[in-house]
Structure 1
């Protein structure tokens, strides 16, 4: 089965973090990438080197 890699720039990642969408074209089809509207059922058990901080609420987002 062929693999497709979608490469995001720092600007693209910042757009997703801020609630926007990023669209890319793969084999003639438009693919929209966005953050899920649902929260994860379980907390992330890993301690990650880099985390995203929500500066509005001063909390970490994974």
Structure 2
């Protein structure tokens, strides 16, 4: 995507779909910043494993 100057037509800004997504969704951006920190690898792995387990168990009616 390109943002242009209305008077000159020159390109002032460029962005990708991802830039627009993170720019328009503050909650998603905040989560991405938390998990992108250098010291958050363990937190990401723990949270991902918990979410994965929850999703997998939701399909198991024999556990209810």
TM range (shorter): under 0.3
**Greater share of strand:** 1
Larger radius of gyration: 2
**Greater share of helix:** 2
- Name which structure has the greater RCO, CA cutoff 8 Å, separation 6+: 1
TM-score of the aligned structures, taking structure 2 as reference length: 0.24
